[in-house]
A = this chain, B = another copy of it.
Amino acid sequence: MSKSSNDSSVPTRLIHDTCLCLHTQRAARALARRFDEAFRPLGLTSGQFSLLNAMNRETPRSMGEVAAILAMDRTTLTANLKPLERQGLMKITVDAQDRRSRKLILTAAGKKLLRAAAPVWKRTHAALEREAAAAMSGIDIPNLRAGLRAIA
């Protein structure tokens, strides 16, 4: 006889221990909280920091380009831009070459905030790498990044 409560061919325990989706969500939540806290004095979240970064270039990107870079749904990007635009950190302009497309442009305030956030990021990321090394001896951070890219 099999056990009464867990007779599935794929036990709960195996799924919990194995699932890359769960492991990635767990890490994503933990890292978001950590960077959110670090950026809080600047009135910025971790996601907003990544988003501003993706827009910080000479040649403005379109919504679709930024959404692809962040592996984010286009409609999520539309929503995420609203608070940034409201705070005057960036603006959305119609692309003159293709009037369906939008160019996402950082304002001076947005660039200034990014400059202020950069050392916070550097400090926080360095601490994260130190702790990761302590938690997992011989952790290979570049390899971890490559693995994350492979599953994204």
Determine the residue in chain B with the shortest Cβ distance to A36: B21
| Bound CA–CA A18/B121 (angstroms) | 11
Chain B residues positioned under 8 Å from A135 (CB to CB)? 149-151
Give the Cβ gap from A52 to chain B, nearest Cβ, in Å: 9
Q: Write the A43-58 contact mask toward B (1 if CB under 8 angstroms, else 0).
A: 0001100100110111
Give the Cβ gap from A87 to chain B, nearest Cβ, in Å: 19
| Bound CA–CA A128/B20 (angstroms) | 9
Per assembly, the copies of the chain total 2
Q: How many residues of A contact B (CB 8 A)?
A: 66
Interface residues of A in 1-51 (CB under 8 A from B): 5-6, 8-10, 12, 15-16, 18-35, 46-47, 50
Q: Write the A136-152 contact mask toward B (1 if CB under 8 angstroms, else 0).
A: 10011101111111111
Q: Is A118 an interface residue (CB 8 A)?
A: yes
Of the residues B47, B57, B128, B151, contact of A151 by C-beta under 8 Å: B128
| Bound CA–CA A78/B18 (angstroms) | 25
> Known interface pairs A119-B10, A144-B147. Does A50 touch B24 (Cβ–Cβ under 8 Å)?
no
